């Protein structure tokens, strides 16, 4: 029986059926309607600087090789031989002129073109058309300020249009003299929970921070980590891309985390004027805490990390977590940022540990006969959203709101049903 | 003399593992010097490109500039242990039941006078909650320790490098020590 996706989500997005977090049929439909339709984050241009450089990753569950082609262009090649389907690349990264299949040695170049077929004369009588048997490629590949994305949908909007207002917020992190780069290496781990549980948290769940991550606040002897005078916000960038952010009073800027090493404080003091000039007055007052580019590209810029929540069936997610730093920063500053990230949101991080613990427990209960028929509750702050002049995005809520999750599931439903939803009601800020 | 040293190192490593499994983390912490480094670099699948070259393990392990699972100094190790006492370390509440199996122990002279390099293999078992299905994990790897005499006939760890046998952690976190 076909799933009626509209029955899984409330009209005002205040609840989502737990069925959406465990059902193999829904998961299969997500592969078609989300992961083959949306722009997927692949990696950073710093991973593929020279022609022939490559790294492997996933678009949803599809294994892909991202290459800097011989032509200098970026390619996203499906990592599966056109002959019998074996993975033609089994390395995580490197530089190569060719990908040779270990099964029958069909060989492709870094552009994905088939350049060699053994026994072409004796076996194929020269009748095989190499040009028709290159690796399957993403329909569009593009990058935004160093971040590489691709989509399998030829008719998808441009990457810039897809990102929409979210690009304004991404700029807060990416717009730096010299740009950004990734620290070599990727943290990869398995969480036994549906990918959406991770994403609706990363979307901007400020509510859990004081409780789920209470151990860190206690360690820092600082239960209230934020200055009450400044605005703690949740922002829906109106296309399912969301974030939680901190809007400072004019003239104030984020200067790094509390308890950061002195070298980082000095770095932010030294670069503040130049960064403020690059960002301008509106952007300069906003600090991007955490967010999610739909569907599964998570950001926690205050801890120098971006991550992809790769789906692995309805019950499992493979987290790939990267450390993103200012490219022009001195080596010692990058090292300090790397340790700040690892110690907080790496898989051994004092904050990350407890997220996996919670998502796994949430997922497990959703498979049970009684609770599996219930829904998750997303009603916090519904009807209490507003706009803030100068901040892109249509819906803003307090830190204690679930406007970002409602935005995420609204986009999810739009993708799953292929229909456009009425715009959420925006009301004037109370008081 | 060689045998005596090897046995002393083995006994030190076994005792250290027991302190972890008995959750005597404060005593375990005392085994590290103030200038210690507790380091577990990440690892990746390296391209061999059909050359047949037998790549050394070091070539597929990130160096100091790359990402590590742990890159702790004395202070960070302390913070990890103090976190367990906050009453809000949910990933360890209820606490993991662990067993660290230490084997393949070798000991040789270190670079600095009086220092010993001890290599060992580990298999760490973790059981949580009911201890079935997703509540069971195995972690395998090797360790290269630089040990210094502690003045009382035993040792302290100056540097521990842990090389994991995985590229993707087949578990939801690394909330235990190795």
| Count of domains observed in chain A | 2
The answer to the question of residue A225 being in a domain is: yes
The answer to the question of residue A32 being in a domain is: no
Q: Check residue A184 and give its pLDDT.
A: 97
The answer to the question of residue A381 being in a domain is: yes
**Whether B69 and A348 lie within 8 Å, measured CB to CB:** yes
**Whether A192 and B45 lie within 8 Å, measured CB to CB:** no
Lowest mean pLDDT among A57-66, A147-156, A282-291: A282-291
Provide mean pLDDT across the span A420-431. Answer: 33
Q: Does A105 contact chain B (CB < 8 Å)? A: no
Higher per-residue pLDDT: A1 or A350: A350
Provide mean pLDDT across the span A102-127. Answer: 97
A67 — pLDDT class (breaks 50, 70, 90): very high
Higher per-residue pLDDT: A254 or A11: A11
Task: Say whether both A137 and A198 belong to one domain.
Answer: no
Task: Say whether both A183 and A251 belong to one domain.
Answer: yes
**Whether A218 and B87 lie within 8 Å, measured CB to CB:** yes
Task: Say whether both A124 and A207 belong to one domain.
Answer: no
Task: Say whether both A118 and A194 belong to one domain.
Answer: no
A275 — pLDDT class (breaks 50, 70, 90): confident
Where a domain ends, among A81, A107, A142?
A: A142
CB pairs under 8 A between A and B: 130
The answer to the question of residue A12 being in a domain is: no
Task: Say whether both A234 and A202 belong to one domain.
Answer: yes
Where a domain ends, among A110, A142, A174?
A: A142
A109: domain CATH number is 2.102.10.10
Task: Say whether both A127 and A248 belong to one domain.
Answer: no
Provide mean pLDDT across the span A64-79. Answer: 96
Q: What is the DSSP-derived secondary structure letter of residue B95?
A: P
Task: Say whether both A135 and A197 belong to one domain.
Answer: no
Cα-Cα-Cα-Cα torsion A261, A265, A267, A271, nearest 10 degrees, comes to: 160
Task: Say whether both A115 and A217 belong to one domain.
Answer: no
Nearest-CA distance from B42 to chain A in Å? 7
Provide mean pLDDT across the span A378-388. Answer: 90
* The pLDDT of residue A427 is above 70: no
Task: Say whether both A392 and A243 belong to one domain.
Answer: yes
Q: Could you read off the pLDDT of A3-56 as tens digits, one per residue?
A: 999 999 999 999 999 999 999 999 999 999 999 999 999 999 999 999 999 999
Average per-residue pLDDT for chain A: 91
Nearest-CA distance from A190 to chain B in Å? 5
**Whether A219 and B86 lie within 8 Å, measured CB to CB:** yes
The answer to the question of residue A359 being in a domain is: yes
Provide mean pLDDT across the span A387-399. Answer: 81
User: A311, A248, A325: which is closest to A21 by C-alpha?
Assistant: A311
The answer to the question of residue A11 being in a domain is: no
**Whether B170 and A183 lie within 8 Å, measured CB to CB:** no
**Whether B83 and A357 lie within 8 Å, measured CB to CB:** no
* The pLDDT of residue A431 is above 80: no
The answer to the question of residue A244 being in a domain is: yes
Closest chain B residue to A219 measured between Cα atoms?
B83
Closest chain A residue to B50 measured between Cα atoms?
A100
Task: Say whether both A291 and A334 belong to one domain.
Answer: yes
**Whether B86 and A192 lie within 8 Å, measured CB to CB:** no
Q: What percent of chain A has pLDDT over 70?
A: 95
Q: Could you read off the pLDDT of A183-233 as tens digits, one per residue?
A: 999 999 999 999 999 999 999 998 898 889 989 888 887 655 545 556 888
The answer to the question of residue A168 being in a domain is: yes
A244: domain CATH number is 3.90.380.10
A395 — pLDDT class (breaks 50, 70, 90): confident
Q: Check residue A350 and give its pLDDT.
A: 95
Provide mean pLDDT across the span A265-293. Answer: 90
| ipTM of this complex prediction, to 2 decimal places | 0.96
Helix (H, G, I), strand (E, B) or coil at B115: strand
> Which of B86, B88, B168 shows the shortest C-beta gap to A188?
B168
pLDDT per position in chain B (178 positions), as tens? 689 999 999 999 999 999 999 999 999 999 999 999 999 999 999 998 666 677 789 999 999 999 999 999 999 999 999 999 999 999 999 999 999 999 999 999 999 999 999 999 999 999 999 888 889 999 999 999 999 998 888 999 999 999 999 999 999 999 999 9
- Give the right CATH number for B2-44+53-164 from 3.40.640.10, 3.10.450.50, 3.40.1000.10, 3.60.10.10: 3.10.450.50
Task: Say whether both A68 and A216 belong to one domain.
Answer: no
Task: Say whether both A241 and A308 belong to one domain.
Answer: yes
Q: Does A52 contact chain B (CB < 8 Å)? A: no
Q: Check residue B110 and give its pLDDT.
A: 95
Enclosing domain of residue A295: 163-417
Q: Check residue A400 and give its pLDDT.
A: 82
**From its phi and psi, is residue A279 left (phi > 0), alpha (psi between -120 and 50) or beta?**
alpha
Q: Could you read off the pLDDT of A72-103 as tens digits, one per residue?
A: 999 999 999 999 999 999 999 999 999 999 99
């Amino acid at each position: 029986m076909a799933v009626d996706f509209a029955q899984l989500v409330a009209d005002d997005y205040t609840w989502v059926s737990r069925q959406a977090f465990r059902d193999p049929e829904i998961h299969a439909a997500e592969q078609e309607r989300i992961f083959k339709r949306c722009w997927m984050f692949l990696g950073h241009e710093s991973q593929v600087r020279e022609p022939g450089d490559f790294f492997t990753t996933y678009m949803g569950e599809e294994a892909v090789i991202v290459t800097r082609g011989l032509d200098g262009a970026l390619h996203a090649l499906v990592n599966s031989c056109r002959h019998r389907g074996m993975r033609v690349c089994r390395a995580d990264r490197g530089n190569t002129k060719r990908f040779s299949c270990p099964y029958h040695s069909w060989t492709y170049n870094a552009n994905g073109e088939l350049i060699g077929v053994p026994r072409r004369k004796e076996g194929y009588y020269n009748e095989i058309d190499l040009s028709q048997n290159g690796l399957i490629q993403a329909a569009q590949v593009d990058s935004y300020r160093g971040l590489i994305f691709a989509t399998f949908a030829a008719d998808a909007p441009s990457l810039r249009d897809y990102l929409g207002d979210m690009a304004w917020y991404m700029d807060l992190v990416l717009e730096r003299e010299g740009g950004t780069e990734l620290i070599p290496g990727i943290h990869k781990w398995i969480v036994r929970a549906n990918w959406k549980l991770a994403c609706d948290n990363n979307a901007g769940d400020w509510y859990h921070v004081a409780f789920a991550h209470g151990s860190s606040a206690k360690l820092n002897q600082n239960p209230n980590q934020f200055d009450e005078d400044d605005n703690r916000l949740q922002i829906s960038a109106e296309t399912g891309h969301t974030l939680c952010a901190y809007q400072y009073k004019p003239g104030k800027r984020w200067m790094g985390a509390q308890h950061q090493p002195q070298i980082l404080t000095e770095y932010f003091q030294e670069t503040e004027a130049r960064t403020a000039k690059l960002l301008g007055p509106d952007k300069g007052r906003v600090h991007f805490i955490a967010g999610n580019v739909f569907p599964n590209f998570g950001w926690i810029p205050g801890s120098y990390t971006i991550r992809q929540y790769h789906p692995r069936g309805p019950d499992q997610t493979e987290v790939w977590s990267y450390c993103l730093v200012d490219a022009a920063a001195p080596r010692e500053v990058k090292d300090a940022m790397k340790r700040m990230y690892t110690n907080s949101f790496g898989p051994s991080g004092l904050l990350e540990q407890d997220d996996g613990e919670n998502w796994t427990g949430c997922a497990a209960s959703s498979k049970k006969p009684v609770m599996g028929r219930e829904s998750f509750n997303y009603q916090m702050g519904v009807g209490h959203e507003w706009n803030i002049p100068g901040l892109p995005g249509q819906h803003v809520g307090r830190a204690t709101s679930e406007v970002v999750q409602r935005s995420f599931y609204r986009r999810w439903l739009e993708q799953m049903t292929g229909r456009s939803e009425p715009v959420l009601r925006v009301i004037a800020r109370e008081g | 003399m060689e045998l005596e040293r090897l046995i002393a190192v083995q006994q030190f490593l076994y005792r250290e593992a027991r302190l972890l499994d008995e959750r005597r983390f404060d005593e375990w912490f005392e085994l590290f010097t103030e200038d210690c480094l507790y380091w577990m670099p990440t690892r990746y699948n390296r391209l061999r490109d059909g050359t047949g070259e037998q790549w050394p393990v070091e070539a597929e392990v990130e160096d100091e500039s790359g990402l590590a699972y742990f890159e702790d100094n004395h202070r960070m190790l302390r913070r990890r242990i103090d976190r367990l006492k906050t009453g809000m370390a949910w990933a360890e509440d209820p606490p993991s039941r662990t067993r660290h199996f230490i084997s393949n122990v070798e000991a040789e002279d270190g670079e600095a006078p009086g220092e010993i390099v001890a290599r060992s293999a580990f298999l760490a078992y973790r059981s949580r909650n009911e201890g079935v299905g997703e509540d069971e994990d195995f972690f395998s790897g090797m360790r290269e320790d630089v040990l210094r005499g502690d003045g009382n006939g035993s040792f302290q760890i100056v540097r521990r490098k842990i090389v994991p046998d995985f590229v993707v952690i087949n578990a939801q976190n690394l909330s235990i020590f190795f």
